[in-house]
Structure 1
Amino acid sequence: MRKRLKSIKLVFRGIGLCFALITFAALSLPTTLGFAAEQDDPLPSYPSLMANVAFWKKVYAQYSTTQGIIHDARNLNIIYEVITLKDWFEPGAYSYNDAKESCAKGYYQNLLKRIVSADARPSLEQERVLGLFAAYNAKNLLKDAHLNVRMQLGQKDRFLAGLIRSGKYLDEIRRILRAYDLPEDLAYLPHVESSFNYQASSKCGAAGIWQFTNPTGRRFMTINHVIDERRDPIIATHAAARLLKENYRMLGEWPTALTAYNHGPGGMLRAQRIKGGYENIFKYYNGPSFGFASRNFYSEFLAAREIARNYQAYFGEIELDEPVYRDSITLPGHIAIKDLARHFCVDIDTLEELNPSLRSSVISGRQYVPKGYCLYLPSKMASDSTFTAENIPPELFKSIRKSSLYCRVRPGDTANKIAKRYGVQVRDLIHANGLNAHATIRLGQNLRIPTQKQDI
């Protein structure tokens, strides 16, 4: 190993000085662009975050979802290669892209192992990779670099789509954050969480633009078989504001509080007790669950904020979606959505768009819009005296909601089998019963079947 490291040092003598100067210039540039921490900015950057913020800016504004960035997971300056992937909507794209990612990562893992173990003079390809480490301590980084090869999918097209979508609610989100006395720039967090995709769902069961999981969402919102308020961007923003305010009160600084949105306040309290302020946590904390996503969460936010604030510099002139204006009425009873659409002369698609918290079981008519629901209507319609809840014909309201069919889980049952047995969608079964993203069920469990049948 000593002989090999000596060989590496000899290579660095030829390329190290040049590479170090280029790297120093590149990393010094953001400071002149306002990346240095500002005392009056509650969401500051730090010198130690510059490389990470620069990396995520490339992810969001340079590389698209048909490009994969092969990089070192600890030092985001080190990008080995950018590979080309198939469009994810093409047939067979997932298997093709997975294979290409595995091949690229395997190639660099093996190359890095050979660099560390070989005694001969490095090849041209090995010299190229060694040059990526020239500005760093080779002994510390190269030894286990093969364990830290990672691929990050580009997000440029998704980020641009999110920018356009954000026009619908961004002003209202800012107003809500001001009302909670929170930094308005927190309005850019959904770019990181969901690309402002109002229908976003994650594999761990998080939903909506703020990506609340079921357990956390239930602390602040209604989530049941007919309503999921996580999917309403305004209701969910109130919930996010309350959660973020809780985090800040507990942790005392916004970078740490914001990271707690991903890592959890308990985890960040432990990190804070061990390492102190956010920058020390970022640089030195190695908690068992404080992985790549948590360490980079705040850097991602800073990159997203910079791009969203100055999107013309990255994407040119684009037209954002028009703001959505809506008024509301409170329903005094259970009612079918088709009856509401007919009464207000509004199509069901419009009601669905204005009321994203209503589950598909309500939109399809399998369940009623529940009593007490705050129904959103096109702006100014609800303020018209002829378009009030009192003017809805009483006979349209139901005194009780539709009954549900239940099924007891038997040996050998899976969510897929039960959904097929009753002719319903698995996702509806998951929503109706608050199942996790893997649709885990247990023997003897009673499952609500989302169906039009009235009998139990």
Structure 2
Amino acid sequence: MAFRFFIIYLFLGFGTCFSQIQDSTLSQKQQVKDSIIDGKDLTVKKIEAVKDSDSIKKLEDLEFAAKLDEKWLEELYSNNLFDTIYKSVTELTYEPVDYPELHTDTLKRRLKELDARTPFNVEYNPALESVIKSYLKRRRKHLQKLMTLSAFYFPMFEEELDKHDIPLEIKYLAIVESALKPRAKSRVGATGLWQFMFGTGKEHGLDVSSYVDERSDPIKSTKAAAEYLTRLYKIFGDWDLALAAYNSGPGNVTKAIRRSGGYQNYWNIRHNLPRETAGYLPAFLANMYIFEYAEAHGFKKLKPEFALVETDTVRVKHMITLDQVSEVTGTPIEQLQFLNPSYKLDIIPFIEKENYVLRLPRDVVGSFVNNEEKIYAFVKEEFAKREKPLPQFFNANDKIRYRVRSGDYLGKIARKYGVRVSQIKQWNGLRSNNLKIGQRLTIYPRKPYVTSSSSTKKAVETKPISGNVTTYTVKSGDSLWSISQKFPGVSVQNIKDWNDISGNKLKPGMKLKISKG
């Protein structure tokens, strides 16, 4: 089991600002309750709670909130946390750190309190003090992001750990392993929140195929991790050694015990463990201490965008892509990817006797279920027409080479050029959502754009509208798909082409041109 660090939807360094915006709009959301779901349309009607003059102001507020969402999504698809934690553990030096905000006597007292309520050996030593103070001094921003994200994952972890009679503090292991990123992947191939290797994952029932990697499924991988940790504890009879074995394998721990002359305390065999594992338990204990005494150190406990209990699953009845789900529900693709991280290609397969499910926000589930027949008809039509001329046969002038910048993620790039995430992945042979700064991507844009080398605008021709043209005013809860269902023969792509729209976002009040011809 290789060590690592997942983290997020959810919602992060700018978490304080986002939380304030979320709280400020909460009362408005309460006033504008869902009143009825029309079985024929995938549209959730809202009760008008404000006057026209106030509506304009509200739209401005939503536009501002959208900018905050953009910052959050940048954090979600950034590997900075994962890379930072991995580096911090492998390069621990244990040199004294000047951090007067935490006196040594105070730390000793708190560690003693922790030791009394956990089966881990939380005893003071200068090396542990060095790690704790180093994290508090140099990693506050990262820790705040993790604390915000942990509000989504920790309840799920605690429930499963409790079922297996495992110390609840084990939840902090996922921070050290993956930075709470379900799709985190180590240099040796360990994957997911709990960083399972391929063989170990298979051994514990985690399916890995071309479409699915259940090592990235938060619920299934947590169950597997609990089972594996239970086995390790039965072998060593000590939770510190069980964690060391989880990271480097039982064999490396027993060799360290032999080389140390028979000592069985982690701190006494640490110098005989692989370097990565030597810093593993100190990092785990340091994170445990900081999370348990977060408020004392000035960290804020912020609520994530939504909790796991505010989501639900639907068993799929036909192969469907997250792009398509986003299109018919209006749910941002990034939210769907966050909630469904085990689908490697953003495709949910349908296989007899397999139970593949789509996780959605609760306020979307009802609409999806009520319109399943129409949705799957749309999906089948999409798959039926997907055989198209391949990009390599297009005119070379129709493509661009995009260089990935800091803060980029696939959804952001797709919206910029009016294409789908799945298309970018197909054009570039990508099997995951991970991008690296400087990476070059081939894009065949639908949306007009400006090249980086000049201010010359390269336009992609918008399809002209023919026949009887009408204007449709977007209502609250509308999606491109639900609007297309109102006009026979009109597809989502038609609406996009006629109105020069990229992505799937609509704003109430927006005017759309629709051809009835």
Give the alignment's TM-score, normalised by structure 1.
0.54
Aligned equivalents of 2:264, 2:282: Cα separation in 1 = 12
Q: Unmatched 5+ residue regions in structure 1?
A: 1-18, 20-25, 64-154, 404-421, 432-456
Q: Which amino acid aligns with 2:111?
A: G
Cα deviation code 1:61-86 (max 9, x no counterpart): 111xxxxxxxxxxxxxxxxxxxxxxx
What SS class does the counterpart of residue 161 from structure 2 fall into? Answer: helix
Aligned equivalents of 1:285, 1:207: Cα separation in 2 = 25
Aligned position for 1:55: 130
How much does 1:388 deviate?
Answer: 8.6
In the alignment, structure 1 residue 197 sits paired with structure 2 residue 200: no
In the alignment, structure 1 residue 428 sits paired with structure 2 residue 431: yes
How much does 1:348 deviate?
Answer: 3.5
Aligned position for 1:440: none
How much does 1:350 deviate?
Answer: 3.1
What SS class does the counterpart of residue 312 from structure 2 fall into? Answer: strand
What SS class does the counterpart of residue 360 from structure 2 fall into? Answer: strand
What SS class does the counterpart of residue 328 from structure 1 fall into? Answer: strand
Distance 1:368 1:177, change over 3 A: closer
Aligned equivalents of 1:429, 1:341: Cα separation in 2 = 18
Q: Contact conserved, 2:111 with 2:289, CA < 8 A, in 1? A: no
In the alignment, structure 1 residue 301 sits paired with structure 2 residue 284: yes
Identity of aligned residues (%): 23
Aligned position for 2:228: 243
How much does 1:423 deviate?
Answer: 7.6
Aligned equivalents of 2:175, 2:325: Cα separation in 1 = 34
Aligned equivalents of 1:217, 1:232: Cα separation in 2 = 11
Q: Contact conserved, 2:312 with 2:362, CA < 8 A, in 1? A: yes
Distance 1:430 1:27, change over 3 A: closer
In the alignment, structure 1 residue 42 sits paired with structure 2 residue 26: no
Aligned equivalents of 2:293, 2:218: Cα separation in 1 = 23
Distance 1:44 1:426, change over 3 A: farther
Q: Of 122, 136, 143, which aligns to 1:159? A: 143
In the alignment, structure 1 residue 369 sits paired with structure 2 residue 349: yes
How much does 1:385 deviate?
Answer: 9.5
Q: Contact conserved, 1:208 with 1:230, CA < 8 A, in 2? A: yes
Distance 1:31 1:357, change over 3 A: same
Q: Within 5 Å, give how 1:71-150 maps onto structure 2.
A: none
With a CA cutoff of 8 Å and minimum separation of 6, indicate the structure with the bigger relative contact order.
Answer: 2
Distance 1:429 1:178, change over 3 A: closer
Q: Which amino acid aligns with 1:202?
A: S
Aligned equivalents of 1:203, 1:158: Cα separation in 2 = 21
Aligned position for 1:31: 108
Distance 1:387 1:187, change over 3 A: farther
What SS class does the counterpart of residue 227 from structure 2 fall into? Answer: helix
Aligned position for 2:56: none
Cα deviation code 1:404-454 (max 9, x no counterpart): xxxxxxxxxxxxxxxxxx9854652999xxxxxxxxxxxxxxxxxxxxxxx
What SS class does the counterpart of residue 283 from structure 1 fall into? Answer: helix
Aligned equivalents of 1:293, 1:299: Cα separation in 2 = 11
Distance 1:36 1:164, change over 3 A: closer
Aligned position for 1:178: 162
Q: Contact conserved, 2:217 with 2:342, CA < 8 A, in 1? A: yes
Q: Contact conserved, 2:201 with 2:215, CA < 8 A, in 1? A: yes
Q: Contact conserved, 1:248 with 1:257, CA < 8 A, in 2? A: yes
